[in-house]
């Protein structure tokens, strides 16, 4: 019995993926667990493993974007016919009716299934002309209501849709750019960044800023570095800060939350996303339950995630489930900045560089390493006072890390 | 312009060629004294004599075979096969010999042979005297295939076929013989491989051959009264095919119906559909519809015959399917 290989849902919120290439060809034998194809999702590109042993009988979707649950291939026994449920019954040619007296000469309708595969679920039915117009005018066929037979999208439907939303398309009427302009197509990751951050921009947000004396933070980190054993990752100031923020999140659960469909989900553990710049674009892998980890463990987890993020080897699941995000541009010498929310999270902390600054300490003017942090909050979930209390705790912990115990 | 019947137009082309050119002669069953079973060659024996209007024995293989020999020797024979059903008896000569000599000889041998034949339903000829077999010949490289639908076309195309240096299978339709139409005073040759747009339209192109050209024109009138603008194109020459005109028309209208009297399955409409989908893929707004006879030997009983072969209403229904909306 052949097994249909369906596009897996690798994580919550994943609706579709793009098949980049197949690592096996039709006719190859495959073992369960062997990498079968490369899948580009809106978060990562990863290899998807075969979930059955056998021979790759058919590749239904050689490449391109498909919805979760779509049959993309069929695995079965060598020489096995693809079983009837996979076969498109409607592909059988209709045998034209003729009157009874000549019935016996009617060609017997073929009982053998035509070996054509189902139209993948979720594929938009559209005429070739409608597809061309949609391509030229940047209309997403998936959102066009088809008025042709069986709901097929026809040219008129696309023209109406294009007329209704002339400016929506990023590809609409691109003026021919002068030769020196480099036109960069958005990657799947880049498109996701664009879409999610645009969504985030719609949230009503407010920002709060504190300047903390980072002397103790720096000193704590130096002590931890001294204790690092041979071969272990050296903790950074960021790793220490991640641990302190997690402690603060546990004390202010309103901030350790996600805003989902008009509900706020508050989480019992601090799953902190770390914004990482990669060649493909911004990635935010998540370190889970940071509130229960040592700084050393955080450093190891962070080093692993960052290096794999830069190599494009993250798994989809590692980008999911964050309850808070830290974005640190300190290494670029940025004093202060405002980060955009990372939905559905309700807050994000923008961390600047630690710089020596004049600070008032116990009534004395001293030069000390100072750290500016700006918290962006989703006002739908958090009030100003809640955000302020959280940020005050973060500042207190930065100035006295031992209080995080 | 004088108005003549399709039959008279064929006869006119034959007579003019016989007059013009000593190398032209006619061969066929009962074409001399009797004037042919469809009366097309009536009067030609009287004018041109038995050497040039030749009755033959009832052997299509012998008729075509000897005509091939004559053509190779420099004559321009015009063969009449009484019913196209009987072309099947001459297939070896036509397909294996006539179609091959020119290329197999590296161009040294030409076969300027015209085979006129006729067929078609509508008068209860039964299963063996009314088939439409044009698609068989379109499949053979080395042949040319013509199917004319009007008096003007049949005369101009027959002339070009006679003077083509390749074997041409020239189809006439039985029910079109009495159809009248204007023809130019002087015979104007119509080049092979050139389609005719009978009627311009905006919404659907019907590519029709033979009798179905007339049915398509009727259907187009009816469709127009319902607000659908139909273009009707007759390829006239099936091989070589005027792909440019046909594909151009479908690119304009974005929808297409093919229509012929031959059975739909494996019919010339299938070839048209393939050519059109390739040439106009990004312009197609609906699946190409095919109209043809139901897949059955033609019944003798008039009611049954009527049921099996397509008519204007079948073309109209197909037109409507191409512009249909759901629900």
B118 and B226 part of one domain:
no
Domain end position, chosen among B123, B156, B182: B182
- Using pLDDT thresholds of 50, 70 and 90, give the confidence band for residue B317: very high
Give pLDDT, residue A8.
Answer: 85
**Which pLDDT belongs to residue A176?**
59
Q: Indicate yes or no: CB of B297 within 8 angstroms of CB of A105.
A: yes
**Residue A332 DSSP symbol:** G
* CATH topology for the A125-173 domain: Dihydrolipoamide Transferase (4.10.320)
Is residue B231 within 8 Å of residue B216, measured between CB atoms? Answer: no
* Annotated catalytic residue within B8, B29, B60, B231: B60
Residue B138 lies in a domain: yes
Per-residue burial over B149-178, b if 16 or more Cβ lie within 10 Å, else e, is bbbbbbbbbbbbbbbbebbbbbbbbbbbbe
Does position B327 have pLDDT exceeding 60, yes or no?
Answer: no
Per DSSP, B216 falls in state: H
My answer on whether B202 and B91 are in the same domain is: no
Q: Give the span between the Cα atoms of B327 and B324, in whole angstroms.
A: 9
**Which of A96, A127, A129 has the CB atom closest to B294's CB atom?**
A96
- Which residues in chain B touch residue A132, judged by CB atoms under 8 angstroms apart? 282-283
Q: Are residues B148 and B59 part of one domain?
A: yes
> Worst-scoring range by mean pLDDT, A73-77, A294-298, B209-213?
A73-77
**The two domains A3-88 and A125-173 share their CATH topology (first three levels equal):** no
Do residue A148 and residue B304 have CB atoms under 8 angstroms apart?
no
Average pLDDT in the B298-316 region? 97
Chain A positions touching B308 (Cβ under 8 A) are: 98-99
- CATH number, domain at B112? 3.40.50.970
Give the closest residue to B307 by CA, choosing from B291, B290, B321, B294. Answer: B294
ipTM of predicted assembly, 2 dp: 0.79
Among residues B182, B207, B223, the one where a domain terminates is B182
Banded model confidence at residue A162, pLDDT cuts 50, 70, 90: confident
Question: For residue A280, what pLDDT is reported?
Answer: 78
- Domain membership of residue B189 (yes or no) is no
Nearest to B304 among A97, A99, A151 (CB): A99
Q: What is the average pLDDT score of chain B?
A: 97
Of B254, B299, B324, the CB nearest to A149: B324
Same-domain check for residues B49 and B136: yes
Do B163 and B278 lie in a common domain? Answer: no
Query: Are B304 and A128 a contacting pair at CB < 8 A?
Result: no
- pLDDT tens digits for range A332-347: 999 999 999 998 999 9
pLDDT tens-digit readout, A365-401: 999 999 999 999 999 999 999 999 999 999 999 999 9
Give residue limits of the domains in chain A: 3-88, 125-173, 191-404
How buried is A163 (Cβ within 10 angstroms: 0-12 exposed, 13-18 middle, 19+ buried)?
exposed
- At residue A1, the pLDDT reads 67
Q: Are residues B12 and B38 in the same domain?
A: yes
User: How many structural domains are present in chain B?
Assistant: 2
**Is B188 inside a domain boundary?**
no
CA A260 to CA A266: how far, in whole Å?
A: 11
Domain at A3-88, CATH class = mainly beta
**pLDDT 10s digits, B161-192:** 999 999 999 999 999 999 999 999 999 999 99
Q: Average per-residue pLDDT in chain A?
A: 83
Report the predicted TM-score, pTM, of the whole model to 2 decimal places: 0.55
Domain annotation covers residue B133: yes
**Does B178 share its domain with B201?**
no
Instruction: Look at residue B15 and give its three-state secondary structure.
Output: helix
List, for residues B229-263, the tens digit of each pLDDT value. Answer: 999 999 999 999 999 999 999 999 999 999 999 99
- The answer to the question of residue B187 being in a domain is no
Tell me what pLDDT residue A122 has: 62
Does residue B101 fall inside a structural domain?
A: yes
Answer whether A72's CB lies under 8 Å from A5's CB: yes
Query: Which CATH number is B257's domain given?
Result: 3.40.50.920
**CATH C-level class of A191-404:** alpha beta
Same domain membership, residue B263 and residue B155: no
pLDDT at B316: 97
Residues of A with CB under 8 A from a CB of B: 95-99, 101-102, 105-107, 127-132, 146-152, 154-155
* Interface membership of B185 toward A (CB under 8 Å): no
For residue B132, what pLDDT is reported? Answer: 97
pLDDT at A65: 85
Instruction: Give pLDDT, residue A95.
Output: 37
The answer as to whether B190 is a domain residue is: no
- Which residue in B285, B294, B304 is closest to A155 by CB distance? B285
Report the pLDDT averaged over residues B90-110: 97
Confidence (pLDDT) at B121 = 96
For B175, the domain range is 3-182
Question: Of the candidates B182, B208, B232, which is a domain's last residue?
Answer: B182
Q: Does a structural domain hold residue B326?
A: no
Q: Does B269 touch chain A (CB under 8 A)?
A: no
Band of pLDDT at residue A103, cut at 50, 70 and 90? very low
């Amino acid at each position: 019995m052949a097994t249909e290989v369906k596009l897996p849902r690798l994580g919550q919120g994943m609706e579709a993926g793009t098949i980049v290439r197949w690592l096996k060809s039709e006719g190859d034998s495959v073992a369960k667990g062997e990498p079968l194809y490369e899948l580009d999702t809106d978060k990562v590109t990863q290899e998807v493993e075969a979930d059955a042993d056998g021979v790759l009988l058919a590749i239904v979707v050689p490449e391109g974007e498909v919805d979760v649950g779509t049959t993309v291939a069929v695995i079965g026994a060598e020489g096995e016919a693809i079983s009837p449920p996979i076969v498109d019954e409607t592909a059988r040619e209709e045998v034209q009716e003729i009157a009874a007296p000549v019935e016996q000469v009617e060609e017997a309708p073929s009982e053998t299934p035509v070996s054509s595969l189902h139209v993948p679920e979720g594929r938009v039915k559209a005429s070739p002309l409608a597809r061309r117009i949609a391509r030229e005018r940047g209309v997403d066929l998936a959102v066009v209501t088809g008025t042709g037979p069986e709901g097929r999208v026809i040219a008129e439907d696309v023209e109406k849709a294009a007329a209704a939303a002339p400016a929506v398309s990023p590809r609409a009427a691109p003026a021919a750019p002068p030769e020196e302009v480099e036109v960069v197509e958005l990657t799947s990751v880049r498109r996701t960044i664009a879409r999610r951050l645009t969504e985030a921009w719609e949230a009503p947000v407010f920002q709060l800023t504190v300047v903390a004396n980072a002397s103790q933070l720096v000193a704590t980190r130096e002590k931890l570095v001294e204790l690092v054993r041979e071969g272990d990752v050296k903790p950074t100031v960021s790793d220490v800060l991640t641990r302190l923020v997690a402690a603060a999140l546990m004390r202010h659960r309103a901030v350790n939350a996600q805003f989902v469909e008009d509900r706020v989900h508050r989480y019992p553990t601090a799953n902190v996303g770390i914004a990482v710049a990669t060649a493909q674009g911004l990635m935010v892998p998540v370190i889970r339950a940071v509130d229960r980890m040592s700084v050393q463990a955080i450093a190891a987890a962070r080093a692993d995630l960052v290096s794999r993020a830069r190599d494009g080897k993250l798994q989809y699941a590692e980008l999911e489930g964050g309850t808070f995000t830290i974005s640190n541009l300190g290494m670029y010498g940025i004093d202060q900045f405002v980060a955009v929310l990372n939905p559905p999270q309700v807050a994000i902390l923008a961390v600047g560089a630690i710089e020596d600054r004049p600070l008032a300490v116990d009534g004395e003017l001293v030069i000390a390493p100072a750290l500016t942090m700006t918290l962006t909050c989703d006002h739908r979930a958090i009030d100003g006072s809640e955000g302020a209390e959280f940020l005050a705790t973060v500042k207190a912990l930065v100035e006295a890390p031992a209080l995080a115990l | 312009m004088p108005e003549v019947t399709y039959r008279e137009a064929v006869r006119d082309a034959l007579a003019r060629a016989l007059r013009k050119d000593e190398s032209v002669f006619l061969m066929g069953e009962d074409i001399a004294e009797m004037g042919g079973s469809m009366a097309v060659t009536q009067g030609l024996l009287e004018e041109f004599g038995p050497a040039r209007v030749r009755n033959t024995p009832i052997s299509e293989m012998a008729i075509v075979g000897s005509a091939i020999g004559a053509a190779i020797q420099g004559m321009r024979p015009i063969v009449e096969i009484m019913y196209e059903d009987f072309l099947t008896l001459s297939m070896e000569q036509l397909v294996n010999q006539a179609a091959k000599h020119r290329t197999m000889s590296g161009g040294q041998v030409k076969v300027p042979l015209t085979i006129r034949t006729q067929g078609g339903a509508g008068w209860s000829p039964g299963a063996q005297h009314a088939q439409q077999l044009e698609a068989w010949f379109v499949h053979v490289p080395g042949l040319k295939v013509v199917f004319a639908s009007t008096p003007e076309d049949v005369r101009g195309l027959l002339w070009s076929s006679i003077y083509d240096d390749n074997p041409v299978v020239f189809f006439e339709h039985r029910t079109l013989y009495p159809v009248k139409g204007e023809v130019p005073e002087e015979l104007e040759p119509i080049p092979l491989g050139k389609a005719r747009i009978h009627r311009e339209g905006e919404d659907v192109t019907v590519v029709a051959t033979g009798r179905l050209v007339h049915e398509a024109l009727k259907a187009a009138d009816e469709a127009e009264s319902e607000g659908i603008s139909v273009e009707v194109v007759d390829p006239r020459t099936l091989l070589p095919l005027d792909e440019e005109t046909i594909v151009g028309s479908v690119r304009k209208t974005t929808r297409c119906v093919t229509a012929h009297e031959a059975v739909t399955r494996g019919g010339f409409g299938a070839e048209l559909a393939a050519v059109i989908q390739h040439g106009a893929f990004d312009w197609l707004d609906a699946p190409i519809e095919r109209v043809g006879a139901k897949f059955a030997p033609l019944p003798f009983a008039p009611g049954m015959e009527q049921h099996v072969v397509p008519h204007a209403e079948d073309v109209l229904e197909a037109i409507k399917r191409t512009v249909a909306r759901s629900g």
